[in-house]
Structure 1
């Protein structure tokens, strides 16, 4: 009988895609295990999982109880957070997992506490270069921490294990096919294609800045594709095309010569593994400014530069010019640290977990111990 592995990931794509990536690797390479997922109640979470035909179990959490917009929302979140403990306990009883792998974020907390209580093996993967609150709590609880980067402030070296961010396997489409599948009615224009990758929440501010810049004569033969900022595929300028959310990122990566991306760890790991030169625009309102931390490490080791949104468009154009020079250099990919690293990360992560999993599978889970 197959043993269950539980992956807990919710909130945004930055937490969910690494979990799906690692889960897919397990399903392909370790067929003696069943992979199960848990997410929160936000619509965006369900859209992401649905896009890859996964039906996760759901906790009624829609956000951190500490970040509500007003008192009413905070009270509601605290209540759903409390209810989620009972739902999480039921999930653990049903699955009796050999290990629970948390992908950080507020949804991790109920499982963190319950797995400790039930003596179920548990680890947490922190995607960002600055540890979130749940990961800092995990450190206090002496839960093994695996990280996406060599640094994970404010944690001290030696208290975590750098492993990388699990990345999806991407299909390489012919450009014309990718363009058509994205839903554009126009023929694929000729020229350099810049794709905006602004995360599962999108970014209207980046769309507005790029649209303004794209009107200049020197970008007349450039094409800018911006997903997540429209309800339908549409052309708003001669060289600016908008899209709704695109969950099959293979289509976007097949088009991209250059990317303009937010500083989410999952997106950066994907760009690095594919060797796509990038301008990284960290969202400075992210908790603990973790996107800037991610971007700082990423740009030091990959074909990318950072642009601060508070700077003017001329500065952005200068950054884009630098990345264009990188794009023109065919030798760059050989010097990108993350290039072609997707499978290596999952293999390393599994190797690090295997001893815990083997012990749990041999001795039985913590719930069997307690019964």
Structure 2
């Protein structure tokens, strides 16, 4: 039986940080450990995550805004660090695990000063800013991709490929077959811009679908997640084109929608890629060009090179280009099923288990850490 321990998860307020943190929290709790979350106001209120988990809000400034902005951010981070140190005296955590985002920084800084072991998890294919700031001081770095940019060579010895944890409901889709697609049956499309939506998808996708051959277009059934400010425009476009579509600002049943879809049109955020590869769903990806260090383009590279997705840069994402790519995939049932299998092939379904093993192992570095560090030819953890 595993010794009961206390762990603190520190994450920023976006879905890309919060979803894997929540998945790890569930796994650690299942193993009998106490779990607490520290984040910002957005993170502790993130819908559908961390129910029943002890949560704490820490002040954490975001760098920017010139000298005054940096000064304000520094003051907030120092205040957050002081609050975290006080919290650790109560929780006595065995480790603090950071998932990136500015709210994670004060929690990790407090752990360094209190000599509490630390682990960071990087969801993207480019090491994020906060993780770069702390990577030299943490005990272990967990990555979601075999190749991660902005990593220093000296960190390799403590870097472990675990994958990006997804929700259990999404992981369960891996055991289910790709939905049968008949030549004259419904073709179900899921459009999502991630937790914050994407206006470019709302502007282009309805018009792109309208350019498909009439026999293909009549088979479409669309679920489209849109920003609040775009939703009426998107609904009007689908109605104009006579394409059946459900349009919403938030999809609480995303795992069910993913199970239902034959094709996903999406941004290339870390959680989106992890869920596509866990479930085995082909996709057309439009990376966010303003993402820090262009990390969404890097995220899309593995699944695209494997043949599980087609990536279209936003500058080239037009209605005509979308219709062309849709026809290449959707008019050939075998090609679509093959793309689904290739997407599934680059998934890392044991990510949450391997990350939890790594977190527990920092107390016994001669055992599981070495096993997690080894990888097989596909880049997945290989256990001796």
> Which TM-score bucket, shorter chain as reference?
0.7 to 0.9
* Structure 1 SS opposite 2:148: coil
Aligned partner of 1:8 among 10, 13, 28: 10
Aligned partner of 1:225 among 206, 223, 226: 223
Find the aligned partners of 1:333 and 1:296 in 2 and give their Cα distance. 16
1:165 is aligned to 2:164: yes
- Aligned residue runs from structure 1 range 16-27, under 5 A: 16-27=18-29
- Equivalent in the alignment of 2:322: 316
Aligned partner of 2:298 among 286, 293, 300: 293
Aligned residue-pair number: 336
Deviation, structure 1 residue 154: 1.8
- Equivalent in the alignment of 1:263: 268
Deviation per residue, 1:230-286 (Å, 9 max, x gap): 488995323233102123322321331110111111110111110011011100100
Change (3 A) 1:72 1:357: same
Question: Quick check: 1:227–1:243 contact (8 Å CA) kept in 2?
Answer: yes
Deviation per residue, 1:28-77 (Å, 9 max, x gap): 3x12x1121111123x651335685545211133x6223x5x77766554
- Aligned residue runs from structure 1 range 266-345, under 5 A: 266-301=271-306, 303-311=308-316, 312-324=318-330, 328-329=334-335, 330-336=337-343, 338=345, 341-342=348-349, 344-345=350-351
Question: Quick check: 1:228–1:246 contact (8 Å CA) kept in 2?
Answer: no
Question: Quick check: 1:49–1:56 contact (8 Å CA) kept in 2?
Answer: no
Could you tell me the TM-score, scaled by structure 2's length?
Answer: 0.78
- Equivalent in the alignment of 2:210: 215
Change (3 A) 1:341 1:217: closer
Find the aligned partners of 1:348 and 1:122 in 2 and give their Cα distance. 16
Change (3 A) 1:334 1:196: closer
Moved more, 138-147 or 299-308: 138-147
Find the aligned partners of 1:53 and 1:92 in 2 and give their Cα distance. 20
Change (3 A) 1:155 1:327: farther
- Equivalent in the alignment of 2:62: 64
1:254 is aligned to 2:259: yes
Question: Quick check: 2:102–2:130 contact (8 Å CA) kept in 1?
Answer: yes
Unaligned runs of 5+ in 1: 174-189, 360-371
1:191 is aligned to 2:186: yes
Deviation, structure 1 residue 293: 0.7
* Structure 2 SS opposite 1:242: strand
Question: Quick check: 2:280–2:342 contact (8 Å CA) kept in 1?
Answer: no
Change (3 A) 1:338 1:110: farther
Question: Quick check: 2:77–2:105 contact (8 Å CA) kept in 1?
Answer: no
Change (3 A) 1:340 1:287: closer
- Aligned residue runs from structure 1 range 110-259, under 5 A: 110-156=106-152, 158=156, 160-170=159-169, 191-216=186-211, 218=213, 219-230=217-228, 235-236=235-236, 237=239, 238-239=242-243, 240-259=245-264
- Equivalent in the alignment of 2:368: none
* Structure 1 SS opposite 2:34: strand
Deviation, structure 1 residue 130: 0.6
* Structure 1 SS opposite 2:79: helix
* Structure 2 SS opposite 1:11: coil
Change (3 A) 1:356 1:40: same
Could you tell me the TM-score, scaled by structure 1's length?
Answer: 0.81
Moved more, 6-15 or 76-85: 76-85
Question: Quick check: 1:99–1:357 contact (8 Å CA) kept in 2?
Answer: no
Question: Quick check: 2:189–2:262 contact (8 Å CA) kept in 1?
Answer: yes
- Equivalent in the alignment of 1:186: none
Question: Quick check: 2:38–2:55 contact (8 Å CA) kept in 1?
Answer: yes
Change (3 A) 1:302 1:247: farther
- Equivalent in the alignment of 2:41: 41
Question: Quick check: 1:258–1:327 contact (8 Å CA) kept in 2?
Answer: no
Deviation per residue, 1:97-119 (Å, 9 max, x gap): 11111111212211222211111
* Structure 2 SS opposite 1:6: strand
